[in-house]
Structure 1
Amino acid sequence: MRRHRTAAGILLAVGALFTSGLVGAGTADAASPHTASGQSVPARTVSEAEQHTSRSYWTAERMRGAPSLDLLLTPQAVKQLRTPADSGPTTTVEPTAAPASFPQAGAAWTGDGAVVKTSGRVFFTFQGRTASCSGNAVTSRNASTVITAGHCVKYQGSWHTNWIFVPAYSNGSAPYGQWSATELLTTPQWEASEDINHDVAAAVVAPLDGRTLTSVVGAQGIQFNGGYNKPMYAFGFPAAAPYDGTKLIYCSGNSSRDFLFTRDHSLGCNMTGGSSGGPWFTGFSEAAGTGLQVSVNSFGYTFLPNRMFGPYFGNEAKALYDEAQAA
């Protein structure tokens, strides 16, 4: 998640929910547009050689050692966020019935259920440095689709390399293996201008030991155009203080629509760098650990340190998902 600050012209410091350290970057394959639902979906196909390199590259030590990327950003990372013309009116949260645990601003998930296995940490190299995000396995025709944030596959004009998904990550261990990407996809809006309203991405991962991802770890449902102002659960692997990337963290509470500059979801949450791309669920069952994914951890404002924002899954996100699950 990136933390933004306001200033004249609404200048925003682009920073964080992903983490990073030093390494050599891999060579990116050429990106090619795909077509889904009448919309061009930017994608990068990953070669088999890079897939093999990715799996061997990510040792337990490297996974544990990734610091927060926002500590490495330079003044050139400052950009302007333009208020969308179709932001719409401010909305308020209607009181709704919620589990007894509501609200939860950020704590280790001590429950069990499907979310423990479907969510995981994402690792990649970004402009010569190691980095991490979060992601989640969703139901799909290819049984191999991971949903994450747009900046977790492409950032500052560059597609990430050495990309892997580690479900149920725990302090350097990969109990269900490291799943290397065969294809990375994002929305046209994120690819063109890093539009924060469309900070969504998908990865298709290769089979491991002859099995597909969701046949091993299961999958969460996904929903599009589901509306605003609902009880939500958000999950991720924040790696910046006060967290260290070793545990699955969650927040819960009643969500609202961003009343400032975007049309995104808003939730009380103190997750930090590394949790970007982690799933937001509606209709979440604490007992079963299942829900419908409707967003991902994306960004925050520096003057609202305990709120997190995630993109609304509309038609653009559905086109992305449709293309990914067909790959």
Structure 2
Amino acid sequence: MNLFRLRPGPTVGLRLGLTLAASGALLLAGGAPADAAPGATSRTGEWTAPGDDGWSDADVLGFWTPGRISAATDPGRPDADGVPTGTPGPPAAVPGMPSAEHFSGISSVGVLFTSAGADPTTGELRAHKCSASVVESGGRDLILTAGHCAGGRAVFVPQYRSRSELADQPFGFYRVTDWYVDDQYVRNSKGAVSDLDYAFARVAAAPDGRSVQDAVGANHLVRTPGYRQDVTMLGYPRVGRNPADQPVRCAARSGPLSGFRQMRVECAGMWGGVSGGPWFSDVDWDAGTGEIIGNVGGFYGGGMDVPESDPRYHQITYSPVYGDRFFRLYADALNGRRPHYGSYRQLQP
């Protein structure tokens, strides 16, 4: 099995429902499964993506105008019960279960915007679709997200502010130039390979020349100590479920997802859009960085295979366990390598 590298191409689907409100939007993928990818895939989930075809900072600014942001389509999955997926409103409190809370966010965590089509100045619009975090790298240019979020012509915006235009974001914006995904992963899989739902991306410097790590700092990746951990999840819910268009966080205790090498957390309010968002074992809120032991993702993109009208949709969220295979991918992303790992076998952490 080989680890493969993707360059910007057609937009891919993800467990989060994507949507942008007039002010712009963020997605959070917690308890909801990802939608199917519109791009071509092989049976192993290897995405076909064209090379970098001149997608520049100027193209990004020219494409993501306030008008386009407000008109962006929502490629989120349809609801089986016919209930509109964009119905706003916070989740009702659940006795004995923590709930996600809105806050101002931290500098090292942000969102991914994408567009589809061969021409970087036209094509199908995509709302910010996934969450991502900056991780330590020698090139100071690496971010972490979910495997089902990988692919497409993407832009990372740290600590996104919906009321600011793209050119006026507090920490700038960063074009994705390469994707690194385990090629045994199958997007939105319900099988064992859903354990591999993590990905890295290399990003270009901001228009002012700063690297993303110089601008916002970087998080430290840590091997998952075990299934039962105290974690804080971070992400950006889609605007339909997040009218304030702010990130959320939830501190909770994880447990095992039976039959998988994944963690499971119960927390109300983890709507589609937080996919790829980090699970912190420790975080310095003032510095805006911490230690990451997981990310929203896993079985069916990180949540139960239920319609959005089912309360479990936003109450149950998954994360892969970080072990040897994850850190091999991390090392390969750091060095731009494409090794062959062999087929995936589930092992205990």
TM-score (norm 1): 0.69
Q: Which sits farther off after the overlay, 50-59 or 64-73? A: 64-73
Match of 1:16 in 2: 15
Change (3 A) 1:276 1:18: farther
AA in 1 matched with 2:148: H
> CA offsets, 1:224-258, max 9 Å, x none?
24322110001001105431472111111111111
> CA offsets, 1:194-227, max 9 Å, x none?
5321111111000122221110111111112432
Match of 1:108 in 2: 102
> CA offsets, 1:124-183, max 9 Å, x none?
135845141110011111100010011111xxxxx32x2000001011532211100111
The answer (yes or no) to whether the contact 2:19–2:74 under 8 Å persists in 1 is yes
Q: In the TM superposition, what are the counterparts of 1:248-327 in structure 2 within 5 Å? A: 248-259=247-258, 261-269=259-267, 270-286=269-285, 288-298=287-297, 299-301=302-304, 302=306, 304-305=312-313, 306-327=315-336
> Of Structure 1 and Structure 2, which has the larger fraction of its residues in strand?
1
Q: Which sits farther off after the overlay, 171-180 or 124-133? A: 124-133
The answer (yes or no) to whether the contact 1:143–1:213 under 8 Å persists in 2 is yes
Q: Which sits farther off after the overlay, 130-139 or 289-298? A: 289-298
Change (3 A) 1:257 1:236: same
Change (3 A) 1:224 1:238: same
Match of 1:80 in 2: none
Q: Return the alpha-carbon distance in structure 2 between the equivalents of residues 125 and 236 of structure 1.
A: 21
Q: Report how many residues are paired.
A: 260
Q: In the TM superposition, what are the counterparts of 1:76-225 in structure 2 within 5 Å? A: 104-110=98-104, 116-125=106-115, 128-131=124-127, 132-153=129-150, 159-160=151-152, 162-173=153-164, 174-190=169-185, 194=189, 195-208=193-206, 209-225=208-224
Unaligned runs of 5+ in 1: 1-13, 22-27, 29-40, 75-101, 154-158
Unaligned runs of 5+ in 2: 1-12, 21-38, 40-45, 81-95, 118-123, 337-349
Q: Return the alpha-carbon distance in structure 1 between the equivalents of residues 188 and 331 of structure 2.
A: 22
Tell me, yes or no, if structure 1 residue 47 matches structure 2 residue 52.
Answer: yes
Match of 2:26 in 1: none
Q: Return the alpha-carbon distance in structure 2 between the equivalents of residues 43 and 313 of structure 1.
A: 26
Q: Return the alpha-carbon distance in structure 2 between the equivalents of residues 229 and 207 of structure 1.
A: 38
The answer (yes or no) to whether the contact 2:74–2:126 under 8 Å persists in 1 is no
SS in 1 for 2:281: strand
Change (3 A) 1:120 1:51: same
Q: Return the alpha-carbon distance in structure 2 between the equivalents of residues 231 and 246 of structure 1.
A: 26
Q: Return the alpha-carbon distance in structure 2 between the equivalents of residues 182 and 15 of structure 1.
A: 19
The answer (yes or no) to whether the contact 2:15–2:188 under 8 Å persists in 1 is no
TM-score (norm 2): 0.65
Q: Return the alpha-carbon distance in structure 2 between the equivalents of residues 44 and 323 of structure 1.
A: 20
Q: Which sits farther off after the overlay, 188-197 or 264-273? A: 188-197
Tell me, yes or no, if structure 1 residue 234 matches structure 2 residue 233.
Answer: yes
SS in 1 for 2:99: strand
> CA offsets, 1:239-282, max 9 Å, x none?
054314721111111111113x4221111222112111111111
Q: In the TM superposition, what are the counterparts of 1:50-89 in structure 2 within 5 Å? A: 50-52=55-57, 53-66=59-72, 68-71=74-77
The answer (yes or no) to whether the contact 1:138–1:221 under 8 Å persists in 2 is yes
Identity over aligned pairs, percent = 25
Change (3 A) 1:15 1:46: closer
Change (3 A) 1:51 1:44: farther
Deviation at 1:18, TM superposition (A): 4.2
Change (3 A) 1:316 1:62: farther
